[in-house]
Chain A
Amino acid sequence: MSTTMALPTLTPKDLASDQEVRWCPGCGDYSILAQMKKALAGLGIPREKFVFISGIGCSSRFPYYMNTYGFHTIHGRAPTIATGLKLVRPDLSVWVITGDGDGLSIGGNHLIHAIRRNMDLKIILFNNEIYGLTKGQYSPTSRIGTRTKSSPLGSIDTPLRPLSLALGADATFVARTLDVDVNHLTETLKRAAAHKGTAFVEVYQNCKIFNDGVFEYATDKSVKADNVLYLQHGRPLVFGKDRNKGIRLHGLNPEVVELGNGIALDDLLVHDEKADEPTLAYLLSRMVYPHFPECIGVFRCVERPTYEDVLNKQMDDEIARRGAGKLEDLFASDETWVVE
């Protein structure tokens, strides 16, 4: 038997806590939980180095079900607590679990600021376009006309597009995936984990109880190929059951075209997740069913120093330049005098 130190090998089961999972049967959250455990188990990171921080809402119960460190905080504020944690412990793998209400409504401010600072956080936003825990009010991502108890005549506010918002805050990693596409979900979580900086992932998540089927166009096998477009870096934007449709740029706007009749692959937009400017990613984030296929995959993945690294470097540089601070110097940092 080998006695050498090996990377800890975790199984998804090792990451399951002893708490009973209490989401409604059929909720999309179950799949996200399962894929998360699968994705993390393979990373070679010991269990105690993971921290899950959430706000309030159905999704925010997530930390209780992970046998890692966890903090179920208050509504919308998870990014702030994760930020404080990361300032002190940049070595930890910190995951923020939030929803469309938690992250985009009450906590919108914190979300954009965590992203613009490029804190090394993995922010997973479960978007079900509804408030589940408070029993079914429309949310900031609900489509116009959504009828709920608080919008009996249909909601009238323009929905936020989470990825457009993240890109507007200069997110360095932006992706979208689906609760039911388990392989894509796992791969996306792994890519988020590998990204150094804020990784913002929107997961289309079905709320079985209050908004069932709202993403059916993207998940139903019989129609999804025509309604979603899987992004691949460096590849033209092609979709459709017969892979015969694509996205072309017309002026500054995208348009759906059919291949053939003088339109070749070369005419299509080519995905570039590493583009310096987020313009292309933003354009893709604005494509919405039914006028366009909705993009799934990594929209943007670029490098920028993280806030905590720059802060810690400032501290190191100061110490290198002026020496580690001593209290006697600090106390005497203003003019002093002696009373005999």
Chain B
Amino acid sequence: MTVLNPGTTRSTGEAPVLPRPPIPVEEIGEATIRLAGDSGDGMQLAGTQFTHTSALLGNDISTLPDFPAEIRAPAGTLAGVSGFQIHFSSSDIHTPGDQLNTLVAMNPAALKTNLKDLEPGGILIVNSDAFSSADLHKAGYPSNPLEDGSLKGYRVFAVPITKLNREAVAELKLSPREADRCKNFFALGLVYWLYERSLEPTLRWIQTKFSKNPSIMEANTRALKAGYNYGETTEAMPVHYRVSKAKIPPGRYRKITGNEALALGLTAASKQAGLPLVYASYPITPASDILHQLAELKRYGVRTLQAEDEIAAIGAAIGAAFAGALGVTGTSGPGICLKSEAIGLAVMTELPVVIIDVQRGGPSTGLPTKTEQADLLQAMFGRNGECPVCVLAPCSPADCFHMAFEAVRLAIGFMTPVILLSDGYLANGAEPWLIPDPARLPKIPVQFAQPHAGSNGAAVFHPYARDARLVRPWAVPGTPGLEHRIGGLEKEDITGNVSYDPANHEHMVRTRAQKIANIAKDIPELTVTGPSEGDVLVLGWGGTYGSIITACQRAQRKGWKVAQAHLRYLNPMPRNTGEVLKRYRKVLIPELNGGQLRLLIRATYLVDAVGLNKIQGKPFLVSEIEAKIEELLRC
């Protein structure tokens, strides 16, 4: 143990003083930590465990994993750094936190890429065994930062984690490689001590996970405990912290990521609609986890198909919808490009299909593991012809459950494709989820066209006759008397026969558009938090909700007349959107893109909205939005 900044910590160089006073516990409201290391160091696993433990302890949590696109970039390089950020609190929170209170860096590369996010005076725990000159060289450090004074502004704890961990598992006679694999648990144990967390949930997890491999189970257990005990017994750290339970609405909770919530929401919707779910998908980051989740749910009536490509995936979803099932496909932006023509087919044939786009940085392959909101206009317009679809966007990981359910409800209710715009941040971020009572979930009504009673064939079935909302009937193959043909060629009104008639084409284009517009009557109005009129309305959509609401709450606490509204329904938008926008002097639209919602808002409502646009593959910091609000209020 080396204490580099004796000014802020107690020196351990002296002889032990007996009896030792207990290390004080300081009560704090919230903390943000990040575990960073090489992508082979198991930081995602450690972060997930910390999240889990904190959630079980009753904290509100919000997390942000950050991993490289390469599965194993060369060890020790900047490109191979993987991090996991957790914000945990005794009050209601919405973001993974702007600045870190504690950073764990398992090697120099992790230190180099993450240090800028650590607050001045923040706790920095480093694995000092990983700072050899070769390691430093790989990370591009000309001198050892642990020795050159460059870390003076932080409380640095240089812990020989590799060595201590090896000692902890020495008796088990593992290979050095196997032993070193446990060092993430050592680090996790130390952080558990620092924030006074129980080891129990992680010990339970280790027991189940490695039940078939007792020596690894034992090694991880020992590593975890050794890390904890190191904190407790060595007095390495002068203080540790307590973050108490949050006061959140009563009920049963679990931790959920956006992708998990989508899988659960789709499954719940299929049950509530009484339809089998067919989820067809081609593996793509960051959407693949939805496929993994659903593939496990066969006994819930879920059929999954790993299709040969993106087009086949949506083709199968459309085929399932034609068959009277719930057809869903999921992908990311590049996959949406490939699916565009088929989405057009679903628009023309008016079949209910849900298309999930877990957005990532683009264009092209872009930034596969980073978040962005730049597929909004693609979802709105990225097809040939006048081709409107319903577009929705969840606003938090847990909201993915609700919006998946909504996507299914609207797809079936209006016989239309629905695009659900999640993003990489929501997909992998986690928060507590108040588990709904299945008995209280709404039913999703499904009305199939009924077989014609008479067998004389006198009555002709009209697949494009519509109800008052302009919705056509869902007539399923196998139903006697309803034999009909659909396809991508323009339909004649009512009969659905192929038609090249000019007036019919315009009528059908307008009818399809009006049907989507009619959805506005069936979705909630836009709600505003904060003053119902005033200086600034901050309007957002999708995964930026957490940062926006937090920034607005802070602004309101300062007495500023700032309101906030969030669009989860983007096409159509809630029916009162235009009226809400006009009540504020200025409208600020923060987006992780070049200004796509702003373009829509300006074009639709003639409101001169101002943008705050960040395109770095990262979510907004609360402070960035706060600063922009302040700037707008000043001018």
* Interface residues of A, Cβ cutoff 8 Å to B: 17, 19, 46-49, 51, 53, 63-64, 66-74, 77, 79-89, 91-92, 109-110, 112-113, 311, 314-315, 318-319, 322-328, 330-332, 334-340
Contacts and interface: CB of A to CB of B under 8 A. Distances in A.
Interface string B459-500: 000000000000000000111111111111100000001100
A337 B297 contact: no
A51 B251 contact: no
Contacts of A53: 319
B312 A80 contact: yes
Interface residues on chain B, size class: 35 or more
Contacts of B483: 47-48, 67-69
Nearest to A56: B488
B265 to A, nearest CB: 11
B278 A73 contact: no
Contacts of B271: 327
Contacts of B498: 19, 64
A334 B255 contact: yes
Contact of B201 (A73, A87, A326, A335): A335
A89 B412 CA distance: 19
Contacts of A87: 278, 303, 305, 316, 319-320, 323, 325
Contacts of B311: 77, 80, 110
A88 B254 contact: no
A337 B485 CA distance: 52
Given A48-B481, A48-B483, A88-B324, 16 more contacts: A47-B480, A67-B483, A72-B486, A74-B488, A77-B312, A84-B316, A109-B308, A110-B311, A315-B303, A318-B299, A325-B267, A331-B254, A334-B256, A336-B252, A337-B252, A339-B250
Contacts of A17: 485
Contacts of B327: 84
Contacts of B55: 337
A69 B480 CA distance: 10
B485 A72 contact: yes
B447 to A, nearest CB: 18
A70 B489 CA distance: 13
A19 to B, nearest CB: 7
A110 B478 contact: no
B250 A84 contact: no
B308 A113 contact: yes
B254 A335 contact: yes
Interface in B334-393: 341-342, 344-345, 349
Contact of A88 (B278, B309, B479, B480): B278
A81 B315 contact: yes
A293 B318 CA distance: 42
A69 B245 CA distance: 59
Contacts of A74: 341-342, 344-345, 488
Contacts of B104: none
Contacts of B254: 331-332, 334-337
A314 B322 contact: no
17 contacts: A46-B480, A70-B484, A73-B318, A77-B342, A81-B322, A84-B322, A86-B319, A87-B319, A87-B323, A89-B324, A110-B308, A110-B311, A110-B312, A325-B300, A326-B438, A330-B264, A336-B253
Given A110-B315, A332-B435, A84 B299 contact: no
B264 A331 contact: yes
B290 to A, nearest CB: 14
A252 B503 CA distance: 64
B428 to A, nearest CB: 15
A137 B381 CA distance: 32
A268 to B, nearest CB: 40
A89 B312 contact: no
B442 interface: no
Contacts of A91: 478
B6 interface: no
Given A72-B485, A337-B55, A84 B278 contact: yes
Contact of B297 (A73, A330, A332, A339): A330
Nearest to B247: A339
Given A46-B480, A72-B489, A325-B297, A83 B341 contact: no
B317 interface: yes
A327 B297 CA distance: 11
B309 A71 contact: no
B320 A88 contact: yes
Contacts of A79: 312, 315
A327 B268 contact: yes
A88 B325 contact: yes
B68 interface: no
Nearest to B489: A72
Q: Which of B250, B307, B319, B435 has the most CB of A within 10 A?
A: B319
Contacts of A340: 250
A165 to B, nearest CB: 15
Nearest to B250: A339
